[in-house]
Amino acid sequence: MSGKSFEGQVSRMGWEPGARPRPELVDRILDHHGHDAGRDIGPSLLGVALGALLGLLLKGMGLDGSPWGAGTGFFGDLIGALALGGFAAAVLAAVLGAVRAKSNPELLQFASINLLTVLIVYLV
């Protein structure tokens, strides 16, 4: 009759209050679910910083009073070319990151937040 009660079942399992799982078991479960390493914030921070800079450069190209806007000569043309090249690189990195998301998740993490930040800064 002791096997039918809760206390009897607990005593048959050999459970002790406050017992902890073995570290090997925890590691095996975490490895199985893919949580063996935490997510790094570095690619996101770099994507935000570069995206904000690129968005600012793109936005300044269209403003009349900016130092690199329309009609500012060689300096404006150089900054404009860098901004447009950076935007093309951001779009290319986002596409490449989406294609290679399984093998290189950091690239997707960087490129997606970078492109999002560019668009937010440029449109706001």
* Contact (CB, 8 A) for 62 and 72: no
pLDDT digits (tens, 9 = 90+) for 36-47: 456 689 999 999
Domain assignment present for residue 24? The answer is no
Range of 103's domain? 41-123
Position 66 in a domain: yes
47 within domain boundaries:
yes
pTM metric for this prediction: 0.67
**Is residue 10 assigned to a domain?**
no
Assess if residue 116 is contained within a domain.
yes
Tell whether 117 is covered by a domain.
Answer: yes
Q: Residue 89's CB: how many other CB atoms inside 10 A?
A: 14
Establish if 31 belongs to a structural domain: no
Total of domains in the chain: 1
pLDDT digits (tens, 9 = 90+) for 55-113: 999 999 888 888 888 788 888 889 999 999 999 999 999 999 999 999 999 999 999 99
